[in-house]
Structure 1
């Protein structure tokens, strides 16, 4: 009987640890914390940010994190900052954001970081990144140079004027693209590189810029468009002025409309970035920061050139922008 009672007591104590004469429950394995990552892209409806979001989601799924996305309707700090403030009020563990202005987003993002939220900049960046856990973007200056070399090759030695239709001053990615492109054009024999002009992300304004340039410069041979809406306006302007076949357009748009432009021949080449890779890298750095692991402060991704001839090749096709996430 005593033996049975002793066995029962031992069984009861099997889940306890004796510390300083007291009985405490045995420690159990602590479940890994499930983090929430908020993703704030530059603008809604852009498949580039769709691909970037897919990359974030892939890594989050692998590491048990949750992703919530809120996007402004226009690429504008006036539209983005209220969304950022609303997200910060929900206090996610990390924010992955594509800032729409290199200066205007500094103060609200610094405040978010001070509140304990890990900030990762994706695609675009800021003039001051000291408070960000990490930043991930394409090497946009090099991508601009890639665009310049592509245009130079497509011109086959033709001389004439070339213009860049840029987005808005202060957008770090497109500013860098123009710098890289300009360096190549200024070194290309026979090319007059005209001062860049800004569309403020308006199709109509881009149309006006290219239409007036085509009239003022009959020797216009090339247009570099740093963003999707600029390319749409450029194509419309060249169609209206009857110069589609005379002026070579190099764009920066692997969204579905940009791919359609390649297939139709209205755009000769599109520089394709790798937003899915950017998204994966951004999510990994955010989770590294949250988990106390080593963080890579700055990551740059590369680019490829898509043409009608190589569009369906695997090493180009895999980077076409889409809201449909690839199977992980």
Structure 2
């Protein structure tokens, strides 16, 4: 069945935007080939910055799940963080008249008004960032409860007094800080003998991180623990530790599991990775929309239904090659 709301929204948006805009926007996404029919559910997704393996892996997980379910899945993605590009892709995605949408932007409220309208017209929207107040049907993102990993990982840090530092990427990014700061604070409690140095921010620049950490190592010869909040911070810190010949002397615990981080974990420069599960985030986003649409075949306005969190996982040299943990390794392609 094709939902009445889907046809209405498509007509409204098409009248507003016009055919010329559709032709000039980002290329049409990849539809799944899992048995699409005239009455199949259609889902449109807008993902930013697929040059980042995290977002690429989310995209892969969503596409695979859509294919399993026979969903017509069309993606409108960008390879950068430019909000104008994301806006153009969102407009293109809106025009196909999808039954449900997955919408992500680095500015959480960028599409607040549009999301409200889609939901009112019976189109459920899932996001990984979430508007404030919540207007989406469901917000699906990584669980921020990482403090519990401190008990497991504190033993990786050499004994005795010293110092520690948090590499935060960039300040003021709620999804990142909610996930990484609880672990940083728990490590401070677990190792009160370590002096906390001022937070360091590189803007997610690997080269700048390498330079900054190299300077920190020289200025703080007692440095024993580095906590890197992102993949670029982890890769840059690993390079600085390696250049200083400090592998094994400085414990580096990094978030995420992009390929260079995984290589550094295997080589011993990174002691542990706290990996998100982006593949499951993508799959769960499809599940949430399909479940809703199947439960509401007659359409009607959609109400927000809270959040769903996906647990993170600790990867170490001992478990990195376990086939069961492969899903935590971020992909550069599907």
TM-score range, shorter chain: 0.7 to 0.9
Q: Is the 8 A contact 1:102 1:127 kept in 2?
A: yes
1:309 lines up with 2:309 in the alignment: no
SS at match of 1:221: strand
Q: Compared with structure 1, are the counterparts of its residues 267 and 76 closer, same or farther at alpha carbon in structure 2 (3 Å cutoff)? A: farther
1:131 lines up with 2:135 in the alignment: yes
Q: Compared with structure 1, are the counterparts of its residues 86 and 318 closer, same or farther at alpha carbon in structure 2 (3 Å cutoff)? A: closer
1:271 to 271, 274, 280: 274
Q: Deviations over 1:213-267 (max 9, x none)?
A: 2233222111111211111111222233343342111112323222211111121
| 1:9 counterpart residue number | none
Q: Compared with structure 1, are the counterparts of its residues 60 and 268 closer, same or farther at alpha carbon in structure 2 (3 Å cutoff)? A: same
| 1:173 counterpart residue number | 175
SS at match of 2:195: strand
Where structure 1 has 5 or more consecutive residues not aligned to the other structure, the ranges are 1-30
1:51 lines up with 2:41 in the alignment: no
| 2:188 counterpart residue number | 186
| 2:300 counterpart residue number | none
Q: TM-score, normalised by structure 1?
A: 0.77
Deviation of 1:154 after TM superposition, in Å, equals 0.3
CA RMSD of aligned residues (A): 2.9
Q: Compared with structure 1, are the counterparts of its residues 148 and 108 closer, same or farther at alpha carbon in structure 2 (3 Å cutoff)? A: farther
Q: Is the 8 A contact 1:99 1:126 kept in 2?
A: no
Q: Distance in 1 between matches of 2:122 and 2:82?
A: 25
Where structure 2 has 5 or more consecutive residues not aligned to the other structure, the ranges are 1-36, 297-302
Q: How does 1:185-204 map to 2 (within 5 A)?
A: 185-187=187-189, 188-204=191-207
Q: Distance in 2 between matches of 1:229 and 1:287?
A: 35
| 2:228 counterpart residue number | 225
| 1:291 counterpart residue number | 294
Deviation of 1:272 after TM superposition, in Å, equals 1.9
| 1:81 counterpart residue number | 87
Choose 1 or 2 for highest CA Rg.
Answer: 1
Q: How does 1:4-23 map to 2 (within 5 A)?
A: none
